[in-house]
Chain A
Amino acid sequence: MRFRSVQGNGLIALFFSQFLGLTYSAQCQISITNGLSHFHSTLETTGVISIKNLTEHPSKVLIYQDSVFGIQHPVKIASEVWLEPFERRSVRYDWLSTDSSSQCRRVYIEPYLDSATATNHPGHITLRISTRYAVDLYRGRIADDLEIHWTPDGVRVHNRGGDFWAGACYPMDGRIRGTPRLASGVLRPGDVRVWSVPTDADGIWLERVDGHVVASPKP
C-alpha cells in the first residue's frame, strides 16, 4: 500500500476499506439456501431470503428488484447487507399487506464487485465477469383456471384466471402420469405457454405443486 500518496480523509477511508474487507469483495461468493421461488398466500405478508457468505472475508451483498413480471407493487427489502465470514443471514421482505391481487416480484442478489479494481488497456476487450441469483417471490392463490388448447405442435396452456398456476407438465401414458417431465414453472394470470408434446403421448398431465392434477387427453 502506498501510504505516502494518501493523506487525511483518504487515509482514513483507506484504513476503513481495509478493515472492512473491501479489498476482498471482488472475490466474494454467496449462495441462496432457501430456494429461488417463494410462494405466499394472501394471508402472509412477510418472507425471508436466506443468503450465505461462502468466504472467510466479510462481504457486501446487493439486493435489487426488477419488473420482469410487469408492473407490480414492490416488496420492501434491504438494498444491501453485510455478511460476516461464512455467515448465513435471513433477509426479510414484506409485501404490502392490503394487497389482495396476485403479486410477483423478481429479486436479484449479487455479491458486490468493486469496479475500481478493473483495468483495461487500449486495443483490448476486457470482459468483467460477475454472478447473481434471481429469486422469484409470489403472493396469491394457486389455482386451476387453465384453458388447454391442442395444436399440431403440442399444447397451448393459458392461465385465464386471476391466480397463479405453479407446477409441472408431464405426458400422459394411457390414463396415468408418464415421463419425462415436459416443462415446469409458474403461469401468472394471463400467461400463455406452448409446450411440445411427444407424438406417442396420450395427453398431458398438469400437476400443481400441491398435488392437484388436471389431465387433458389428446383429442
Chain B
Amino acid sequence: MRTLLLASSVLAAFSASAQNSDFVDAMFYIDESAMIRAVDAQGNNLTDLTFHIVSPNIPGQAYLTVPNQTMYLQYTSVKTAAPDDSRTISVDVIGGNFPQGVTASLAANPSGTGATGDGNEIQLSQYITSGTLVEGIGSAYSGTGAGKGIPVIFSIDFATENLDASTAGMVSLQFTVSNS
C-alpha cells in the first residue's frame, strides 16, 4: 500500500508560480519496499555455497575443520505503520537434510544505513530446520557493492566420530523477509 503524505501548507514555496490559486496541494507517494538478494563477497548473485569436509592426511587424525564462508544479504526496506514497521529475516531448510553429525552455524551482523535491526546466531542441523537471523529492520538499506549487506557467516561444525559420508549432499536454505 502506498503511503500518502498530504502537504497542504506549501503555499509559500509555490506562490510565485501559482498566482491564481490560494492553495496548492502537494501529493507525495512513497513506495513501501521490501527487497533482498544474496550475494558473495564480490557482490555477485549467490545461489550456492559448497563445503568440502576433507579427509585428513595422517592416519589417526581427526577431520580438519572447514573454512568459514560469508554470504551477504543486500536489502532495501522502507517500512510503514505497524505491524509492517519492522521486518524480520528468517531462514528455513526447505529441501534436503544436513549430513548426520554436521551442524551449520549462521551468524548475522546487522549492516547498512538506517534501522538495521538486531542480528542473531542460529544453528541448523538434521533436527533444527529454521531460525530467525535478523529482527527489527525498519527503513534501511545495505548498499550494493562488494562487501555490502548483512554478512552471514556460515561455519560448519562436526565431530569426526559423528560423520557419515553417505549422507552428504545438497541442502536448500530459504531466507524469508516477513513482519514476524
Contacts and interface: CB of A to CB of B under 8 A. Distances in A.
A113 B47 contact: yes
B169 interface: yes
A110 B51 contact: no
Given A184-B86, A186-B83, A34 B172 contact: no
A136 B179 contact: yes
Contacts of A167: 82-83
A118 interface: yes
A199 interface: no
Interface in B69-115: 71, 76, 80-87, 94-96, 98-99, 102, 104
Interface stretch (A15-23, A79-87, A93-101, A121-129): A121-129
Instruction: Tell me the interface secondary structure of chain A in the complex.
Output: strand
Interface string A26-48: 11011111111110000000000
Main secondary structure of the interface of B (DSSP, over half): strand
Contacts of B36: 131, 133
Given A54-B35, A129-B38, A134 B154 contact: no
A184 B1 contact: no
Contacts of A37: 83-84, 179
A134 B91 CA distance: 12
A108 B171 CA distance: 20
Interface string A129-143: 111111010000000
A134 B104 CA distance: 24
B174 A133 contact: no
Interface in B137-180: 154, 156, 165, 168-180
B48 A118 contact: yes
Interface residues of B, number: 53
A133 B34 CA distance: 8
B38 A125 contact: no
Nearest to B180: A185
A29 B1 contact: no
Given A123-B168, A136-B179, A33 B33 contact: yes
Given A134-B178, A136-B178, A127 B86 contact: no
B101 to A, nearest CB: 11
Interface string A65-83: 0000000000000000000
Given A124-B168, A209-B82, 6 more contacts: A27-B47, A120-B50, A125-B53, A127-B49, A127-B50, A133-B176
The 5 closest A-B pairs by CB, nearest first: A31-B35, A134-B178, A184-B82, A168-B82, A37-B84
29 contacts: A33-B31, A34-B32, A35-B32, A36-B32, A36-B87, A118-B47, A118-B170, A120-B50, A123-B52, A125-B50, A125-B52, A125-B53, A126-B169, A128-B95, A130-B38, A130-B172, A131-B37, A131-B174, A131-B175, A133-B36, A133-B178, A136-B83, A166-B82, A167-B82, A184-B82, A184-B85, A186-B83, A207-B82, A209-B81
Interface of A: 26-27, 29-38, 54, 106, 108, 110, 113, 117-118, 120-134, 136, 166-168, 184-186, 207, 209
